[in-house]
Amino acid sequence: MTVTTQALQTSRIAILGYGSQGRAHALNLRDSGLDVVVGLRPGGPTSAKATADGFVVATPEDAVKSADLVAVLTPDMVQPKLYEEVIAPNLKAGAALLFAHGFNVHFKTIAPRGDIDVILVAPKGPGYLVRTEFEIGRGVPCLYAVYQDTTGEAEERATAYAAGLGGARALLIETDFKEETETDLFGEQAVLCGGASELVQKGFETLVEAGYRPEIAYYEVLHELKLIVDLLYQGGITKMLSFVSETAQYGDYVSGPRVVDAATKERMKAILKEIQDGTFARNWTEEYKAGLPNYRRMKQADLDHPIEKVGAQLRAKMVWLNEA
Ligand code: NAD
Ligand code: MG
């Protein structure tokens, strides 16, 4: 059965937040023929952008009042307050509340009203890809889930929204809030953001401390990572292995498992456990409420790492990088 936007054809959709996901969702849904209003704080940082894109921008309160579906696309940490102050008092009974990440619902920092549908549509890609794939007639795969179905139409609404994003042109996969939240957090911590950036920094440090020039080290451990990741993305480890030399393959087999070994996997399991038992969510919420002192310090350390300095100099000479 083809999934269409049918279930939302007569619905008004309010998009709250106009950042990475919010802008892409608003534009794609509108281009799919749906009725979209963007809810933003007056004079907020992205309100001019939404207006320039031709949207009617309302206050979050007015957008929620008029909506049959509200997509919460603000940063995760501001969602509980937004729900409490703006969404809960204004949302119509029977409306749908949609998230792109299950964090607050799963960890119960938002307790949704009992008379609404609560659904999730999480594109497996950043906002700019959700938009550019849509524009060329394709789409980014989407996960979808139902947490609460009071109307009997929650699933149809979720899949219709995903179809409006272009996700149905690629792939829709059903999940639940727990699975989406825990796997998403684990992936970004252990492999994608945390694991990959730490691997790059440690590789760079190893070469530079051994006396090799930072420029050469930068190309080896950061720049060329893209070539490898593109091969993984297109055809998995099979394709990557078929494109690198025999020498590179042999080195992979004998050295890879020494860098990331059984002890690393044990630590990955510990990280997963802290995600599952709520420790990570509690720590992150406390850090946010305390004004992000540790977050800022650790971020500054990443920004001050020597690879960032040489990287900026080299990237300035690779003009094609800035044309995207
Ligand atoms: P973002 O930081 O890019 O954009 C957030 C938007 O919310 C901005 O328009 C900002 O001005 C607005 N905003 C901030 N505080 C606000 C407030 N108090 N009231 C109203 N608006 C406010 O966020 P994002 O990365 O698009 O993330 C949005 C949601 O999508 C999150 O739940 C995130 O987990 C999820 N998600 C993001 C990605 C991604 O690639 N970035 C992918 C999948 C899911
Ligand atoms: Mg790091």
Burial class, 164, CB count within 10 angstroms (exposed 0-12 / middle 13-18 / buried 19+): buried
Is the per-residue pLDDT at 302 higher than 70?
Answer: yes
Q: Cβ contacts of residue 241 below 8 Å, gap of 6+?
A: 249, 252
Distance 302 CA to ligand 2 centre (A): 6
Q: Cβ contacts of residue 166 below 8 Å, gap of 6+?
A: 28, 32, 130, 133, 134, 138, 139, 140
User: 192-231 pLDDT, tens per residue?
Assistant: 999 999 999 999 999 999 999 999 999 999 999 999 999 9
H or E, element range at 161:
helix 154-165
Average per-residue pLDDT in the chain? 97
Q: How many beta carbons lie within 10 A of that of residue 126, not counting itself?
A: 12
Is the per-residue pLDDT at 309 higher than 80?
Answer: yes
Distance 74 CA to ligand 2 centre (A): 24
Q: Which of 18, 20, 99 gets mutated to test ligand 1 (max ligand atoms within 8 A of its CB)?
A: 20
**CA-CA distance, 311 to 191, in Å (whole number)?**
22
Burial class, 157, CB count within 10 angstroms (exposed 0-12 / middle 13-18 / buried 19+): buried
Report the percent of the chain where pLDDT is more than 90. Answer: 95
User: 241-286 pLDDT, tens per residue?
Assistant: 999 999 999 999 999 999 999 999 999 999 999 999 999 999 999 9
- Residues at Cβ < 5 Å from ligand 2 ion: 197-198
User: 143-195 pLDDT, tens per residue?
Assistant: 999 999 999 999 999 999 999 999 999 999 999 999 999 999 999 999 999 99
Residue type, 220: E
Distance 198 CA to ligand 2 centre (A): 5
**CA-CA distance, 266 to 263, in Å (whole number)?**
5
User: What is the reported pLDDT for 320?
Assistant: 83
Residues in contact with ligand 1 by the CB-under-6-Å rule are: 16-22, 40-41, 44-46, 60, 73-76, 78, 82, 100-101, 122-123, 126-127
Q: Which of 25, 101, 106, 223 is catalytic?
A: 101
Residue spans of beta strands (DSSP E) within the chain: 12-16, 35-39, 57-58, 69-72, 96-99, 117-123, 142-148, 172-174
Residue type, 295: Y
Cα dihedral across residues 174, 166, 240, 206: positive or negative = negative
Q: Cβ contacts of residue 274 below 8 Å, gap of 6+?
A: 280
Asked if 16 contacts 71 with a C-beta cutoff of 8 angstroms, the reply is yes
Asked if 5 contacts 30 with a C-beta cutoff of 8 angstroms, the reply is no
Is the per-residue pLDDT at 324 higher than 80?
Answer: no
Query: Residue 143 forms beta bridges with which residues?
Result: 122, 173
Whose atoms come closest to the Cα of 303: which ligand? 2
Is 106 considered catalytic here?
no
Whose CA is closest to atom 38 on ligand 1?
126
